[in-house]
């Protein structure tokens, strides 16, 4: 049993993959292809979180105060690989490997992937030589992309530890037949992806990939920090031996272990900030929901008032009609009274004329 550094930490992961032979073997095992050559396109891409100001956040725990977040660094490791194709021949591809221990930051991944699609890649033409100085010719071209995501969290409780998102060429008008032929146009505008959820890994060492991923299993920590762990499986191949040797060296590097502590602290502070922001979002959402309920209640009351107003208008209209009817009846009664009055006056006049 040996002590190794935990590669779920970004610093250790970068240290492990800085050995090109290890990187070549790990990537080949994941994509299940034979890699003839592998070169770093760029050592790393740095992404920093700006300092977060929490002064506006009101929902705090008793011991909370304004937090000054340390800068967190993410490594995107990019490689150019020459792959031996199973159908014969070989092809150059860009391997984009991204790793994060934080909750999904999909837009960051999308932006970075978009940048890779925009760039031309430099590929060394092994066959063509420049006469003067015998220098190798460098060709600039857009390469097909394969993305590999190492996640230090679970996307869900039901998705498996290793997922391949695989493209297929399908003849839509030909009854859905799978097409084996490949086109550079399609290859450079679409890509296969591999997603590895480290907390969901439960391997049995039956395959090369399981042996590779066994070093990532989150178990057998030597203390509560999870920075170092014991590896107790039988070492059965050269690649696994190389990986363990690299992780053993990392475990014995005092400077690197100090960096692990700093990474751990930075992650804790980020999580603290994230929780505070999440609480504020929940509070605002609750207020918004309450306002929505109050608005709905006001709308219902307004609707009720409108209905009552409509009812009152109908009643008023009905009363107006009844009043008009009464007016007509009164007018008729008045006319009848006037007729009666005139008739009486005529009778009185006749009686006077007769001396009665």
- With beta carbons less than 8 A apart as the criterion, state whether 92 and 82 touch: yes
pTM for this prediction: 0.65
What pLDDT sits at residue 36? 94
- With beta carbons less than 8 A apart as the criterion, state whether 240 and 212 touch: yes
Delimit the domains of the chain by residue range. 2-286
What pLDDT sits at residue 125? 55
Beta bridge partners of 76: 98
Q: Which among 102, 48, 46 is positioned nearest to 75, based on CA atoms?
A: 46
Spatial neighbors of 39 by CB under 8 A, at least 6 apart, are 20, 79, 80, 81, 124
Cα four-point dihedral sign 126, 131, 132, 134: positive
| Alpha-carbon Rg for the chain in angstroms | 41
Question: What's the CA gap between 269 and 78, in Å, rounded?
Answer: 28
Phi–psi pair at 78, nearest 5 degrees: -115, 130
What pLDDT sits at residue 236? 84
What pLDDT sits at residue 220? 92
Beta strands, E only, the chain: 2-5, 34-42, 76-84, 90-100, 121-129, 136-141, 145-151, 162-165, 169-171, 177-179, 191-197, 228-231
* Low pLDDT (below 70) residues in the chain: 42-75, 103-105, 107-109, 112, 116-141, 270-272, 274-275, 278, 356
Cα four-point dihedral sign 171, 174, 175, 180: negative
CA 235 to chain centre: 37
Q: Is 76 exposed, middle or buried (0-12, 13-18, 19+ CB in 10 A)?
A: buried
Count of beta carbons in the 10 Å neighbourhood of residue 195 = 17
What pLDDT sits at residue 349? 83
What pLDDT sits at residue 136? 57
Question: What's the CA gap between 274 and 262, in Å, rounded?
Answer: 18
Beta bridge partners of 149: 98, 195
What pLDDT sits at residue 67? 35
What pLDDT sits at residue 240? 95
Spatial neighbors of 195 by CB under 8 A, at least 6 apart, are 149, 151, 155, 162, 163, 165
What pLDDT sits at residue 43? 47
What pLDDT sits at residue 289? 87
């Amino acid at each position: 049993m040996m002590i190794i550094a935990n590669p779920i930490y970004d610093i250790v992961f970068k240290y492990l993959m800085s050995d090109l032979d290890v990187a070549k073997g790990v990537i080949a095992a994941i994509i299940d292809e034979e890699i003839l050559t592998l070169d770093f396109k760029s050592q790393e891409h740095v992404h920093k979180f700006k300092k977060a100001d929490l002064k506006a956040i009101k929902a705090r725990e008793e011991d909370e105060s304004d937090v000054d977040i340390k800068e967190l660094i993410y490594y995107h490791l990019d490689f150019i690989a020459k792959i031996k194709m199973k159908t014969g021949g070989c092809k150059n591809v860009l391997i984009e490997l991204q790793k994060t221990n934080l909750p999904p930051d999909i837009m960051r991944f999308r932006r970075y992937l978009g940048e890779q699609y925009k760039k031309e890649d430099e590929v060394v033409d092994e066959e063509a030589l420049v006469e003067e100085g015998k220098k190798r010719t460098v060709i600039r071209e857009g390469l097909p992309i394969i993305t590999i995501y190492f996640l230090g969290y679970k996307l869900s409780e039901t998705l498996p530890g290793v997922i391949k998102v695989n493209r297929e060429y399908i003849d839509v008008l030909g009854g859905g037949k799978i097409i084996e032929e490949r086109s550079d146009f399609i290859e450079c505008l679409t890509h296969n992806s591999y997603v590895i959820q480290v907390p969901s890994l439960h391997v049995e060492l039956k395959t090369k990939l399981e042996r590779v991923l066994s070093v990532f299993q989150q178990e057998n920590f030597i203390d509560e920090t999870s920075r170092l762990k014991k590896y107790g499986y039988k070492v059965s191949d050269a690649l696994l031996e190389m990986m363990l040797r690299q992780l053993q060296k990392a475990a014995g590097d005092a400077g690197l272990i100090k960096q692990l502590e700093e990474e751990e602290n930075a992650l804790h502070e980020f999580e603290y900030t994230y929780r505070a922001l999440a609480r504020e979002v929940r509070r605002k959402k609750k207020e918004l929901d309450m306002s929505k309920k109050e608005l709905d209640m006001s709308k219902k009351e307004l609707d009720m008032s409108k209905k009552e107003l409509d009812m009152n208008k109908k009643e008023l209209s009905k009363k107006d009609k009844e009043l008009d009817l009464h007016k007509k009846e009164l007018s008729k009664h008045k006319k009848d009274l006037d007729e009666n009055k005139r008739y009486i006056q005529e009778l009185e006049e006749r009686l006077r004329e007769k001396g009665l």
